[in-house]
Amino acid sequence: MRPHEAPEIVIVRTGAANLASVCAACRRAGLSPRLSVEPRDVDKAALLVLPGVGAFGPAAENLERFGLWEPLRRRAAEGRAMLAICLGMQLLFEASEESPGVSGLGVLPGRVTRFPDSERVPQLGWNRVVAPFHAPTLRTGDAAFANSFRVTTPPPGAISAITDYAGPFVAALERSGLLACQFHPELSGAFGLLLIRRWAAACLAAPRSAKEAAPC
């Protein structure tokens, strides 16, 4: 890659995402987005985004149909450079109340649950995200959410940021090069843009030997 060229980031075309906003945010972050449903791209990309807006079951079905299930599971399990957004984050878990009987990637333990019936869903708006001081990439700030389901218990082995709507839930988490956000960084202004930049820079700066073993 020539010095002036933006690093490429592969965005999985899930069939359930606002890809235009994700692509635009990646460009603002200094990256060159490319859409793909090729398993080889999921396996080999230096940077990868798993976006998602929609339902758990149909999104999982699309990933299976394109042969992306195992490459995504392997990449996430190894902690390689991957940004999972909204439904993309939920798919990392074992299951969701939204689609009974449908399995998630299962690289993170736990189940995605619906907000109580007493609350308005989806929650649409800005919430305060509170990140631990030792988080490598996550920071405290305000982010844009649009979700009816959430993960209430932070998974072990990951650093989690928390927000509150009808009780606390996981707003985002990171584990090695894996960054998963229940909120939409692509719609969260400077807060989201800086998060994408920090994540990408950390992953691209990882030593080559570390990338080959357990990237980022």
Q: Crossing angle, helix 69-77 and helix 56-65, to 10 degrees?
A: 100
Measure the CA–CA gap between 204 and 196, rounded to whole angstroms. Answer: 12
Of 26, 174, 181, 186, the active-site residue reads: 186
The continuous run of DSSP H or E covering 61 comes out as helix 56-65
Q: Which of 23, 26, 181, 184 is catalytic?
A: 184
Residue 93 tokens read as 């878990």
Give the distance from CA 78 to its chain's centroid.
Answer: 15
- Residue 181 designated active-site: no
Catalytic residue among 86, 181, 203, 216: 86
Secondary structure element (H or E) that encloses residue 75, with its range: helix 69-77
184 is catalytic: yes
Distance, CA of 38 to chain centre: 19
Any residues with CB less than 8 A from the CB of 197 and at least 6 apart, and which?
A: 29, 30
Structure token pair of residue 101: 């009987």
Residue 48's DSSP bridge partners are 10, 82
Half-sphere exposure in the Cβ direction for 145 (13 Å, CA): 26
Q: List residues with catalytic annotation.
A: 86, 184, 186
